[in-house]
Chain A
Amino acid sequence: MALLEIRNLTIEFETTRGVLRAVEGLDLDVEPGEALGIVGESGSGKSVSLLAAMGLLPPTARVRADRLAFDGRELATLGARERRRINGGAMAMIFQEPMTSLNPCFTVGFQIVEALREHDGISGTAARSRAADLLSTVGIPDPAEALKRFPHQLSGGMNQRVMIAMAIACRPRLLLADEPTTALDVTIQAQILDLLAELRRAHGMALVLVTHDIGVVAEIAERVVVMYAGQALEADRVETILARPRHPYAAALLAALPERSHGSARLATIPGTVASLLPPPRGCRFAERCAHADARCRDEAPVLTRSGSTVIRCHKPLGARDA
């Protein structure tokens, strides 16, 4: 049984210009211990999906799903207290901007101890000692001193480690990470990704990593979901998608990477920009930018089809006519 099961997730927001469907028909499965990457650009709905799983969306968001279950339990039916017990406990999340995700008014030690107190019920010296252990696990030098520091006294990388420490404090079975390294330097990013991989290995923790950087997903994920304009367009094992992407968007995204344009005089591009979702296009959302799109693509929205480990939403997937 999957640790996190999402079926047909739809998230809508009321705006002055109408109802915005930020996410439509998203299916997601995370097995225990698995690393899943969600790749998408701005407006793809990747961050909003994570927030919905954690129940962190504002009341103005309308979240509907056929199934949104963690560890077999339907999250929508849980009361607030039950939900809070899971959030930060068995299911935890880390965010993109470490500087603003930590409370600037309290020391790092205070914030970690708060998490421990809420979920594990320990406090006082025991909690502080455990907090110091956690800081040491995430690679912060001189943990006892670090506990007394405020977030603004630490660097971005340090703050991200603190956030990870808080998140893993109660040994979560699933860690959701929303662009955790985007705001960090590349050498620090490598350290943080190493840390996440190590924590997965040590605790058997499942990881869902949302990012716009395909390289990051290649480094750390086992399966990948590619999202665009609120929909999942392709999902597969990471080796498969990187070597043989079936959806034209995934293929175009990979082709546009500078590292794949060696030897050519120009970089491959994807013409145009993301279609407006107010109102959403009638057919495939990628159709107007797709080199292969035809009339059917523009009129009829493709549905998700599964075959083996591949999930794809396209009328004309690449390689379908391969010998």
Chain B
Amino acid sequence: MAVDASATPRAHGPARAFVDAFLRHKGALASLVVVALVVLLAIAADVVAPHSPQVQYRDAVLRPPAWAAQGSWRFPLGTDPIGRDILSRIIHGARYSLLIALSVVALSVVIGTAIGAIAGYVGGTVDLVVVRLMDVLMALPGLLLAIIVVAILGPGIVNAVIAIAVVFLPHIVRTARAAVLVELSKNYVAAARLAGAKARFLIIDTILPNCMAPLLVQAALSFSGAILEAAALGFLGLGAQPPTPEWGAMLADSREFVLRAWWVVTFPGLAILIVVLALNVLGDGLRDALDPKLRRS
């Protein structure tokens, strides 16, 4: 029997192909570096931060940043209204922001994918009910929905995580459902069915691994959204509670001093901006690398 020994030159699996494509996106690479840096800072916060985020220096209240008049390098970014070092608080705050975002994404993706996949697979009334439910959730403005959930559950970081997860859930459900519907009609699913696969095997083993691309992109973009939502809730006093150095809460603490001491809101705000921007560009890079249609050849 003639053995057909040839194959296309690309001798890499899907994972390697993805890495290659991702590395070509310069913006995404830069963002990856930024995000990695932030993560490192968050992990090593205790070591890197010059001061403890909680200690109040009564003699150094509202000091400006080091380069301004009356500033000193003891407090590089200045101090807040009760004398805490802003730089240290920002570095520790990275932990909270990242942890909150991670929890939100993990929760919403796991639950959302399950709901979306089942709805897409089973179809019929189940699908109809799920879709309508998600439509209702999406009809409410995100922040409003989060506030409602927190109002029901009570303020605090854990409840803030749940609230934001609820806000993001419908989007994940939609993405998962759409991806599953697209794959369902493909012949390799019919072939698996023909091989005797039942529903559970089909969804988990056959279909979902091929739906990863849009879900991963959604997750990456949700990450940055979660940080923003957490900051918003923190700012409203519904998320992290004082004295937690969460970036949004830091903004809330110092609201009244904006005009007198610009640095108390600017630096936490900048931190949010930089991280969210980096995550968004990273998400774009992921999408470009994972979605062959958008890939530049």
Contacts and interface: CB of A to CB of B under 8 A. Distances in A.
Given A269-B2, A271-B2, A273-B4, A15 B9 contact: no
B2 A16 contact: no
A76 B9 CA distance: 35
A46 B297 CA distance: 22
Interface string B1-30: 010111011000000000000000000000
Give the interface SS of chain A, mostly helix, strand, loop or mixed. Answer: loop
Q: Which 7 A-B residue pairs are closest in the complex by CB-CB distance?
A: A273-B6, A271-B2, A16-B297, A276-B9, A15-B297, A272-B6, A278-B9
Contacts of B297: 15-16
Interface of A: 15-17, 269, 271-273, 276, 278
Nearest to B9: A276
Nearest to A17: B9
A16 B9 CA distance: 12
Contacts of A276: 8-9
A271 B9 CA distance: 19
Most central of B4, B8, B297 by chain A CB within 10 Å: B297
A15 B2 CA distance: 32
A16 B23 CA distance: 14
A17 B20 CA distance: 13
13 contacts: A15-B297, A16-B297, A17-B9, A269-B2, A271-B2, A272-B4, A272-B5, A272-B6, A273-B4, A273-B6, A276-B8, A276-B9, A278-B9
Nearest to B3: A271
A253 B143 CA distance: 67
Contacts of B4: 272-273
Contacts of B6: 272-273
Contacts of A15: 297
A93 to B, nearest CB: 25
Interface residues of B, number: 7
Contacts of A17: 9
Nearest to A271: B2
A273 B3 CA distance: 11
Nearest to A14: B297
A221 to B, nearest CB: 31
B212 to A, nearest CB: 23
Contacts of B2: 269, 271
Nearest to B21: A16
Nearest to B5: A272
A278 B8 CA distance: 10
Nearest to A274: B6
Give the one of B2, B6, B9 with max A CB within 10 A. Answer: B6
Interface in B140-169: none
A48 to B, nearest CB: 16
A276 B5 CA distance: 13
Taking each of A269, A276, A278, which has the highest tally of chain B beta carbons within 10 Å of its own beta carbon? A276
A278 B9 CA distance: 9
B289 to A, nearest CB: 13
Nearest to A275: B6
A256 B2 CA distance: 15
A20 to B, nearest CB: 11
Nearest to A15: B297
A274 to B, nearest CB: 9
B187 to A, nearest CB: 18
Nearest to A273: B6
Contacts of B9: 17, 276, 278
A17 B5 CA distance: 21
A129 B6 CA distance: 56
A254 to B, nearest CB: 19
A269 B2 CA distance: 10
A17 B8 CA distance: 12
Nearest to A278: B9
Contacts of A16: 297
Contacts of B5: 272
B22 to A, nearest CB: 14
Contacts of A273: 4, 6
A134 to B, nearest CB: 36
A271 B297 CA distance: 31
A51 to B, nearest CB: 18
Nearest to B10: A17
Nearest to A60: B297
Given A269-B2, A276-B9, 8 more contacts: A15-B297, A16-B297, A17-B9, A271-B2, A272-B5, A273-B4, A276-B8, A278-B9
A17 to B, nearest CB: 7
A269 B8 CA distance: 21
B218 to A, nearest CB: 27
A41 to B, nearest CB: 14
A252 to B, nearest CB: 14
A15 B297 CA distance: 6
Nearest to B295: A16
Nearest to A16: B297
A119 to B, nearest CB: 34
Contacts of A278: 9
